[in-house]
Each structure stands twice: as C-alpha cells, then as structure tokens.
Amino acid sequence: MKIVSYNVNGIRAAMRKGLISWLQSAQPDIVGFQEIKAKENQIDTQSLREIGYTYQYWFPAQKKGYSGTGIISKIKPKHVVFGTGIDYMDYEGRNIRADFDDFSFMSMYLPSGTNNERLLFKFKYMNDFLVYADKLKQKIPNLIISGDFNICHQPIDIHDPVRLQHVSGFLPEERAWLSAFINSGFVDSFRQFDPRPHQYTWWSYRAGSRKRNKGWRIDYHMVTTRLQKQIKRSLILPEALYSDHCPILIEL
C-alpha cells in the first residue's frame, strides 16, 4: 500500500505541469492533496479516473482559489469525513479523512503564519487540532495524518536554523507543539528511516532556493504508534517539480 501526500499549490497548475503523468508513473494507491485552490467542477477529475483513481473526494475552502484538501484512491474507502466539525477549520477546507479496512488516512493543511493575525489563527488551529487528534486516535487507533504541517521540527529540517529561528514555521512555540503532537502517540515516519540533514519538502520560489537546496521540511506522514511496525518505508520525492513542495511517500 503506497500513500502519497502532496501540497500541489493549485491542483490545476500542477496538472498543467505534468502531475497526471507523474502519478501514472509513481502509482500510489492513495493520494492526499493540500492547497488544491479549486472547486471540484474546476478539476480535471476525468484524467484522474483514467489512470485508476476511481474514488475522489474534494474539500475546497469557501474562499475561491484558496486552501482546500482532497483525497483520491484506487481503493474504495468505507467512509469519508469532510472536515473536523470545527467551523473555522472547515471554512478553509483544511482536513479530509478516508477510512479503509485497516487504517484511516487524513490529508491536512495546517495554516501558515504569514502575519500576526494568521499566526494567531495558526496557534488556535494547532491547539484545537491537538485535542481533536487525541480524541480521534482513541476512536481510530490505526491513523495516518499526512500533509503540510507548515512547521519544521528540528534544526536539521531547515536550511538555516539560526537565522530563521524567529520566522513562523520554525518558532520555538511551533516546534514545541509539533513535539507535543508526536509525543501524544505519533511517529514522524520519515525520521524512522532517514536521520540525515538537508532533506526538505518545500523551497521558496525566490533566489533559486530549490536548485541550491535552501529548503524546509514541513510535510509529514504522521503515523500512530500502533501502526509503526507496518511502515515499510517513508520517502521524500524531490524529483517531482509540479509545485513549490514535493510529494512525500509512505508504504505500509
């Protein structure tokens, strides 16, 4: 079972750049998207069906061209949940979950703290989501929460930890929250296999950041400890160039 998570920074733009061909080559069974920036009727769902993704679920933000998540799958889920039931999260389409026989998979897009107002929004989301996730994993112990967390956890997860320590995405409070999230019963699956620095999932479009590998690791497959032994591998796939992020893969 191969699962991919990908912040596509606009799914229509990613498709124009070749996303469909990449999916056909990589052959994941399930894909969680973040930042789709589109309503379902604006997405080329037929091309996805033609390469095997019969089951498609889209959760756009109410604001046009903004945020939003989605899940596509070759396997029919038993149940799909759109949102968390927490209104301000769901207005922005930030969480969608599909339940399968042996596990549940959530695609999540945690807010970025681009200014003081949004940073306060991000902290509120983080605090409320930690409570929500804790209750959810008690009900669904085999849980994978994947997506763009918009937080680098450790100094090895960011290209310049000293200069960027006061920038949202690497603030001490954000990093402490991510530690608390992991300690509540999750595994950062990538770090289970790869302890190396300079492994990133997002690069700014400015100043040739990607070419110079001046990046941030802010995308994660977080897996409950109950599922830890079933993780076969967890990879970053930087060769996919359809967004300012790259896909991440986990295989169970």
Q: What is the reported pTM?
A: 0.98
CA nearest neighbour of 6 among 182, 251, 252, 249: 249
Angle at 50 between CA 16 and CA 17, to 5 degrees: 10
> Who contacts 119 (Cβ-Cβ below 8 Å, separation ≥6)?
113, 168
Tell me which of 3.90.1150.10, 3.30.420.40, 3.60.10.10, 3.40.30.10 is the CATH number of domain 2-251.
3.60.10.10
Q: Give the per-residue pLDDT at 124.
A: 98
Q: Which of 90, 148, 157, 244 is catalytic?
A: 148
Q: Give the per-residue pLDDT at 224.
A: 98
> Who contacts 163 (Cβ-Cβ below 8 Å, separation ≥6)?
none
- State pLDDT tens for residues 126-137: 999 999 999 999
Question: What does the domain layout of the chain look like in residue ranges?
Answer: 2-251
* Residue 44: active-site member: no
Q: What is the mean pLDDT of the segment spanning 108-113?
A: 97
CA nearest neighbour of 127 among 80, 166, 86: 86
- State pLDDT tens for residues 214-237: 999 999 999 999 999 999 999 999
Q: Give the per-residue pLDDT at 13.
A: 98
H runs (alpha helix) in the chain:
11-17, 19-26, 45-50, 87-91, 116-139, 172-183, 189-193
| Gyration radius of the chain's alpha carbons | 17
Burial call 24-48: b when 16+ CB within 10 Å, e when fewer = eeeebbbbbbbbbbbeeeebeeeeb
Q: What is the mean pLDDT of the segment spanning 132-158?
A: 98
- What is the percent of the chain with per-residue pLDDT over 70, rounded to a whole number? 100
Q: Give the per-residue pLDDT at 215.
A: 98
